[in-house]
Structure 1
Amino acid sequence: MSASTPPKFVAAEAEPIALPPPQGRFTPMLAHSGLVTGAVILALLALVALFAPWLAPNSPTKTDLMAAFASPSMAFPLGTDQFGRCLLSRLIWGSRVSLQVALSVVLLSLSVGTVLGAIAGYAGGLVERGFSSINEVLLAFPGFLLALAIVAARGSSLESIVLAVSIAYVPRVAVVMHAVVLTIKPRPFIEAAHAIGMSNVRILLRHVIPNAIPPVIVVATVSAATAILAEAGLSFLGLGVQPPTPTWGNIIADGQTSIVEHPFISMSAGLCIAITVIALNLMGDGLRDTLDPQMRRQTGIKAL
């Protein structure tokens, strides 16, 4: 190469940049092990409750005193209680009551608490002060004692339990909704909606409530676990669903007379309640971690 010839440079080929795979809307939820575990357990319980007539090996209410306290066998996979009723069949049918109470309480407390909290937080003034006063009075009573008083006044039935537990936990949903709405109300997109002439009702329905609902869903999920415990406690005290309808609380109450000789009767229903409550709490923690931006940053879960 002569001195006058300029050196030639060969451009290096650029290496392709590996882009992260696109994330769907539910990818963070599927990546949360606790949320997936809770959802799978609840899905299995829902299937058991839905197909109870086909899954139960025997009638849950048929008595046979000659087969009282029978050991597990092909005819009675988990044995029988003091009246000769199939324990497994009663547990399967009892799941229907518990899940029905949990779902009904979530729907009622979520709908009523969301509306009350959103209106109070958005309206402000006298409406907010009245809401806060009533809510503080209701929150001063323990939820179970308030439900106990309502059921005692209305009578023992499934409808009374759902209504009582819902009334007891509507204030907890409403106070969370009220707090979240107060943080959303001064945001620029709400001011822009006012500027273009949107009505207050339309702003509430299209902007305020949809943006405030994720934290409220978490509270409602946790309240479902409390509702199952409340139903079991009321049934144990004889104020819940009356026999012969099988519930997990009734099974615990039936087994207390022979808890020393045959502890598995009460323990089996208690184990069902514990598994369901744990699954609901796992779902609540998972929804909080995936729906709350601050929790996503702390746990390292990517945003939706």
Structure 2
Amino acid sequence: MSASMTVAARRRASLRRYTRHPGFMVGIVLLVLLLLVALAAPLLAPHSPTRTDLMQTLAAPSATYPLGTDQFGRCVLSRLIWGARISLQVGFFVVLLSLTIGTLIGAVAGFAGGWVERVIVALNDILLAFPSFLLALALVAARGNSLDSIILAVAIAYTPRIAAVMRSVVLTIRPRPFIEASHAIGMTPLRVLLRHVIPNALPPVIVVATVSAATAILAEAGLSFLGLGVQPPTPTWGNVIAEGQTAITSNPLISLSAGLCIAVTVIALNLLGDGLRDTLDPQMRRNTGKLL
């Protein structure tokens, strides 16, 4: 009974740390709102995002078109609402893939040591030498610009960063007494890695992965802006900005509103990452407690 009460107390303490962190709560609220907008796009969008009306090209904001129309007479607000689905989908699956692959690669490198670590680190350093966006750009150009290709390319581009962080954390965990004790009682290296090393190394990696979601959304927007992302008429925030640049003087809301959507999403993810860092890192918790 006491053990269960201790676990419950720890959970309540963790929940209090999260709810008392203003940045974390603001990030969570913004992300939940964005997720609800993306899921309810068919209900919230006033028009079809692909329906054109050549009689209403570059129309000013009105009750019918709250943010006006683009050069093809499509509702800008509807395209932004539907574009949220693409951006959040890219961010989620990029984090899922890069976190899974990077965690495994970094954990194996840090735990195995020897020539295995040297080979993995060398390959990882080669990938890190390339700017992530340029690497994603090259992969998309080679594989095509379908949504699956974009997610895979961006995930591969941002995996080396997560792998490097995971390896550095594992190197600090490997010499700890409980790891040596696990070996002493006969646990296999694979079991030690999966049961003790990776779970204890995950918190800082999750923080990096959260921030990577923001950069992944920026990367998708950049690819779409350059014409290498999801192709029109499918709406994404990046191609809305690209389409609006030709009409920046007549209807600046096209590009500005899409840029604002990207900025809000990136800020929300960065606030979430900062909150996770402050609440998961014991040293940060102590420093925050002193300031409070």
Q: Which residue of the other structure, out of 81, 103, 106, is the alignment partner of 1:114?
A: 103
8 Å Cα contact 1:222-1:281 kept in structure 2: yes
Q: Which residue of the other structure, out of 74, 80, 94, is the alignment partner of 2:63?
A: 74
Q: What one-letter code is carried by the residue in structure 2 that aligns with 1:75?
A: T
Q: Which residue of 1 aligns with 2:194?
A: 205
Where does 1:272-291 land on structure 2 (aligned, <5 Å)? Answer: 272-291=261-280
The alignment's C-alpha RMSD in Å is 1.4
Where does 1:1-304 land on structure 2 (aligned, <5 Å)? Answer: 23-300=12-289
Could you tell me how far 1:72 is from its partner in structure 2? 2.1
8 Å Cα contact 2:107-2:166 kept in structure 1: yes
- Structure 2: gaps (5+ residues): 1-8
**Using the alignment, how far apart are the partners of 1:236 and 1:60 within structure 2?**
18
8 Å Cα contact 2:58-2:250 kept in structure 1: no
**Using the alignment, how far apart are the partners of 1:30 and 1:116 within structure 2?**
33
8 Å Cα contact 1:77-1:88 kept in structure 2: yes
Q: What one-letter code is carried by the residue in structure 1 that aligns with 2:81?
A: I
Could you tell me how far 1:200 is from its partner in structure 2? 1.1
Q: Which deviations, in whole Å up to 9, do the C-alpha atoms of 1:150-171 show, x marking residues without a partner?
A: 1111111111111111111100
Q: What one-letter code is carried by the residue in structure 2 that aligns with 1:246?
A: P
Matched residue of 2:68: which SS?
A: coil
> How many percent identity over aligned positions?
71
Q: What one-letter code is carried by the residue in structure 2 that aligns with 1:299?
A: T
- Structure 1: gaps (5+ residues): 1-20
Could you tell me how far 1:298 is from its partner in structure 2? 1.5
Q: What one-letter code is carried by the residue in structure 2 that aligns with 1:105?
A: V
**Using the alignment, how far apart are the partners of 1:251 and 1:166 within structure 2?**
23
Q: Which deviations, in whole Å up to 9, do the C-alpha atoms of 1:76-130 show, x marking residues without a partner?
A: 1221111110111000000000000000000000000000000111000010000
Matched residue of 1:252: which SS?
A: helix
8 Å Cα contact 1:76-1:86 kept in structure 2: yes
Could you tell me how far 1:26 is from its partner in structure 2? 1.7
Matched residue of 1:24: which SS?
A: helix
Q: What one-letter code is carried by the residue in structure 1 that aligns with 2:173?
A: I
Could you tell me how far 1:301 is from its partner in structure 2? 7.5
Which structure would you say has the larger Rg? 1
Matched residue of 1:90: which SS?
A: helix
**Using the alignment, how far apart are the partners of 1:149 and 1:171 within structure 2?**
16
Higher helix share: 2
Matched residue of 2:13: which SS?
A: coil
Could you tell me how far 1:180 is from its partner in structure 2? 0.4
Could you tell me how far 1:220 is from its partner in structure 2? 0.2
Q: What one-letter code is carried by the residue in structure 1 that aligns with 2:264?
A: I
**Using the alignment, how far apart are the partners of 1:301 and 1:104 within structure 2?**
37
Q: How many aligned residue pairs are there?
A: 282
**Using the alignment, how far apart are the partners of 2:16 and 2:168 within structure 1?**
28
**Using the alignment, how far apart are the partners of 1:27 and 1:192 within structure 2?**
33
8 Å Cα contact 2:60-2:251 kept in structure 1: no
Deviating more after overlay: 228-237 vs 68-77:
68-77
